[in-house]
Amino acid sequence: MRVLVVGGGGREHALVRALARSPQRPEVLCAPGNAGIAADARLLDVGAGDVDALVAAARDEAVDLVVVGPEVPLVAGLADALGEAGVRTFGPNAAAARLEGSKAFAKEIMAAAGVPTAAARQVETVDDGLAAVTGYPTVLKADGLAAGKGVVIAEDEEAARGALEDMLVARRFGETSVLVEEFLEGEELSVLALCDGERAVPMAPAQDYKRIFDGDAGPNTGGMGSYSPVPAVDDDRAREICRTVHQPVLDELARRGTPFHGVLYAGLMMTADGPKVLEFNVRFGDPETQAILPRLEVDLLPLLEAAGVPGGLALGRFHRRVLSSRTVRRWSW
Ligand code: AMP
Ligand code: GLY
């Protein structure tokens, strides 16, 4: 069995290591990987964003399963292209990956699926944006992919105007619309669920360190470190979140003819009114994956394979142990 992991960061290293310890003893390749990953996988000199070259490499190397780390190639249609070439892939097609690629689309799906989230309005001008603010602080989100940096929490009108001009006039993120969103308060955490198009199976929750400075201050980063387990969410709570957040989204996407296969990452705020979704990602979190996968008690490889088959995760009983993971006190694989 030959598995190709696409990407070159800490998340992909965690995936490579989790796959390498499978009892199935797969040969693990990584494109492009990095100097650390080279110790655990054979590297291919192909960029993670080069869809055509990745398809060619997967064919040339007779890869049995491609596991896609980052969002950019998924939104660009890597899973579709690999599927057309007859290569099995872990990760959603471009239509389902819009959940991360467009925050406005994610809001539309959540509204249709009845999933709790912050109230939001989509605007295209600075004046409309300011008019849509219902109170400060307010949250401004550029619509497209921005590597976790396209979100500004504005404390007053001056800050909101500056951020809206940056996004809509200077087009800092290349987008033409912004979501003006209600500010939510509470503890923030992530619940990732493996999805086979029909069924969502939760993994152990994780939290990451978002703000750039000590004391949770300063602008958001994409996450600079993470931990799991999360004391605030036990297994029952995580199952409940999966039932009320991931599963309805999966059902709605299936109903629209674009079933979601892969891992659906829900970024959540635990508000006084219950968990509300901040964002969806259509891939493993970075750095959450580095905290979650070492805790997994079951073999990751058959789980990733099962996610490609409608109903695949319902087969067997192994999925029951995906959530109840061991506590790893030291990094000692
Ligand atoms: P996002 O990319 O949408 O997850 O936003 C990045 C970060 O901004 C989140 O991880 C939160 O820390 C923060 N954030 C996003 N939306 C909100 C909100 N509605 N209320 C408070 N904080 C938010
Ligand atoms: N750590 C946040 C993310 O992966 O998007």
Atom of ligand 1 at shortest distance to CA of 184?
20
| pLDDT tens per residue, range 100-131 | 988 889 999 999 999 999 999 999 999 999 99
Judge whether residue 197 has pLDDT over 60.
yes
Asked whether the predicted pLDDT for residue 330 surpasses 90, the reply is no
pLDDT of 245-292, one tens digit each?
999 999 999 999 999 999 999 999 999 999 999 999 999 999 999 999
Render pLDDT for 298-326 as a digit per residue (tens, 0 to 9).
899 999 999 999 988 886 566 667 776 66
What is the mean predicted confidence (pLDDT) over 216-245? 90
| pTM of this structure | 0.93
Q: How far is the CA of 193 from the centre of ligand 2 (A)?
A: 14
Q: What is the enclosing helix (H) or strand (E) of 322?
A: helix 320-323
Instruction: For tokens 């992991």, name the residue.
Output: 5
Mind giving me the DSSP string for 141-205?
EESS--TT-SEEEESSHHHHHHHHIIIIIS-TTS-S-EEEEE---SEEEEEEEEEESS-EEE---
Predicted confidence (pLDDT) at residue 148 exceeds the cutoff of 80: no
Indicate the top mutation candidate among 145, 181, 220 to test ligand 1's pocket, ranked by most ligand atoms within 8 A of CB. 220
State yes or no: cis peptide before 26, omega within 30 of 0.
no
Count Cα neighbours of 195 within 13 Å in the Cβ-side half-sphere: 34
**Higher per-residue pLDDT: 192 or 219:** 192
Give the Å distance between the CA of 301 and the centre of ligand 2: 22
Contact 39, 16 (CB under 8 A): no
- Asked if 247 and 201 count as a contact pair (C-beta separation under 8 A), the reply is no
Whole-number mean pLDDT of the chain?
A: 92
pLDDT the model gives residue 171: 81
Per DSSP bridges, beta strands 42-43 and 27-32 are parallel
Contact residues of ligand 1, CB 6 A cut-off: 118, 139, 141, 148, 151, 153, 181-184, 188, 210, 220, 267, 278-279
Question: Which DSSP symbol is given to 209?
Answer: -
Q: Is the CB–ligand 2 distance for residue 73 below 6 Å?
A: no
